[in-house]
Structure formats: structure tokens, C-alpha cells
Amino acid sequence: MILVIKNDSQKRQLDNLISWIKSLGLNVHLSHGENSTIMGIIGDTSLLDIDLVSSLDIVETVKRISEPYKKSNRKFHPQDTIIQVADAKFGGNNFAVIAGPCSVENEEQIISIAVDVKAAGATALRGGAFKPRTSPYAFQGLRADGIRLLLLAKAETSLPIVTEIMSVTHLDMFSDVDVIQVGARNMQNFELLKELGRSNKPILLKRGLANTMEEWIMSAEYIMAEGNNRVILCERGIRTFEHYTRNTLDLSAIPLIKELTHLPVIVDPSHASGLARLVAPLSLASAGVGSDGLIIEVHNNPEKALCDGPQCIRPNQFADIMRRIRVILPLVGKESAF
Ligand code: PEP
Ligand code: MN
């Protein structure tokens, strides 16, 4: 981190600043020019609050030269992290697809969809048991019973299951879940992230509705800082001024996040667009920019879905996407496992 110190600063103020920085275990390198003093801070500057430093009287400007995230940073871990969940491999030259309904609705629905998506090549089953709905009057999910039904579908198909957690207090109910999803609305629920960091489960961390890439990576860092390195990032669209789509898919995040971190990154084209007819083109585009996989909402009867029907595709449309993706994967150095 580099600080430019104001011209009119007193020596006493500068000495105070230096002793505070040293008390944090960091080192200081000063360079006195004719018109200004430049201070280089050496060491783990993630300990320093950049906003606090910028607000100090004697500080003119501050520039971070290294990122505030360490564990997820590709600089310190150049190889791709590969996260294996049953037969699904996320990261490296693998491409994994999670598919299933927005919400688990009943036994017949979840088992029938699980069988269909497996036949098309999906390597994991999704289904919400706890649903984050804008309205408290909308279907809230089957909760514990939803998890029970997902486990039945897992027993039937051997697909690992992915489902969203909304509260730390529910963690015990997730003991047999294979991947715990943190939804967009909870991306910055830091107490939840810390608790999941102490669990031994892979975490699917969705990008927040209005969060920068750096904030998203810092949320992954929260989980990793507690010892859990199995974090899969998921770009699911961000909120912009556009209202023809539910969100705006930020495809540029995929190659950039993969450059900045070693974590796998997948795309959710369903929540990104909110429109079933855009799921195929966005899935292909995501594979084309190097995504490590997809999470797609698939329903056997979208018109009757209790949640997110307009963005759910049917099993035959899902199978068609899988066939077309297979053609793209070799072009981006990925192997198709389906
Ligand atoms: C979901 O996956 O069902 C979901 C609610 O997604 P998001 O958190 O991205 O809105
Ligand atoms: Mn949904």
C-alpha cells in the first residue's frame, strides 16, 4: 500500500502514523521528495482499513498495490482449485452442470426431474428447500421436508444435492447435503459465511444482487479464512437499470475472476435472465467464456411451478443445451463428462 503524505504535515503526526502502522506488525518505507513524502507500507496490508487510512488528516491519497484477499488469490496459488463432489468436478479442465427445480415441491416432482436431468448429463441436483422470497406471502419452501425429498432423489439417482441455507440456525439440517448454497441475498451475511467456513462442506457462493467482484471474492475469503477452501463461485446476474431481463448477466466476471482467483466459477443463466428462452444462449455463452459449469433451473411443468416458473426450462430443452455445450467445451480447453 502506498500513501502520499500531505505537504504541511507535522513530523509528530507522521511519527504517530508510523508507530501505529508498526504496531500492526507492518513495516514502513519513506521517501522524502521536494513536494511530498511517499510512504510504502510493507507486509500483510489486508489488516489495514483503507477507508480509515484515507480519512487521516495527514494522508493525501492511498493506493492499494496488492489485493486484500490472500487465500483465494491466484498470485499465491497459481493452479486451479478443483472441487470434487461425487462425480461432479468443478475447476481445472472440468465442466459440471447442476440442474433441478427452483424449489422442491413434492416427491414425484423432484424424483422425476432428477431422473431426467441425470439422463441428460447433469452431475448434481439442485432444489430449494428454504426459499428467499421477496414476499412473505409467497411459497417459502418445504424446509426440512424439502431436504428429506432431495435425499430421496439422491438415493434414487445417486446425484449429489445442492440446496440453499438461509440461517446459521438451520445448519444441523444440512448434514447430509453435498453442497451448501449461499444465495445472492446472503452473500454478505458474514456470520453465516464464517460458520460455513468452519464446516466441511463445499459452498456454492452466489454473487450478491449489487456486489462488485472484489466484494464477492472477499465473501469467499470469509469462508476460506476459517479453514474451508472448497468454495465454488456462481455469477447469477447483477441488478442494473435494465428491466427486460430479471438481472444482467455479467459474463466479463468469469474470465476476470478466474484470473484473480484460483476458485472455480460457474454461471446461473436462469436467475441472470429470468426468461426460459434466454437460458440456452446464455449457457452456451458462459461455456464460451470459460465458465467451470452451470446451475440451471429445470422443471417438468414450468407453468405450474411454485417458484420461478418463467425462467425454468423443460427436461428436453435441458438435454438440448447439454448436447450443444459438448461442442463448445473442446474450444475452451474443457473436457466434457457428459
Ligand atoms: C436460487 O438459486 O433459487 C436463488 C434464490 O438464487 P439467487 O440467490 O441467485 O437469487
Ligand atoms: Mn429460483
Q: What whole-number percentage of the chain has pLDDT above 90?
A: 93
Residues 55 and 128 in one domain: no
Taking a 5 Å cut-off on Cβ, the residues next to ion ligand 2 are 102, 308
pLDDT (tens digit per residue) in 277-309: 999 999 999 999 999 999 999 999 999 999 999
Measured from the Cα of 126, ligand 1's closest atom is 2
pLDDT of amino acid 119: 98
| Whether 121 and 56 share a structural domain | no
Tens of pLDDT, residues 208-226:
999 999 999 999 999 999 9
Report yes or no on 68 lying in a domain. no
Closest C-alpha among 191, 183, 232, 230 to residue 211: 183
Q: How far is the CA of 248 from the centre of ligand 1 (A)?
A: 14
User: How many independent structural domains does the chain possess?
Assistant: 2
Tens-place pLDDT, residues 131-188? 999 999 999 999 999 999 999 999 999 999 999 999 999 999 999 999 999 999 999 9
Same domain, 208 and 295: yes
On whether both 107 and 52 belong to a single domain, the answer is no
| 293 within a domain of the structure (yes/no) | yes
Domain residue limits at 317: 83-336
Instruction: For residue 279, give the CATH number of its domain.
Output: 3.20.20.70
Asked if 291 and 175 sit in the same domain, the reply is yes
Does 306 lie in the same domain as 232? yes
Please, are residues 299 and 110 in contact by the beta-carbon 8 Å criterion? no
Q: Is residue 288 part of a domain?
A: yes
Residues 241 and 94 in one domain: yes
Cell of 169: 440456525
CATH number of the CATH domain containing 8: 3.30.70.1140
Residues 6+ apart with CB under 8 A from 10: 58
- The string of pLDDT tens digits covering residues 88-124 is 999 999 999 999 999 999 999 999 999 999 999 999 9
Res 46 pLDDT > 90: no
Is pLDDT above 90 for 33? no
**Among protein residues, the one whose CA lies closest to atom 3 of ligand 1:** 102
For ligand 1, whether the C-beta of 132 sits within 6 Å is yes
In a domain, 53, yes or no: yes
Mean pLDDT of the chain: 96
> How many Å lie between the centroid of ligand 1 and the Cα of residue 105?
16
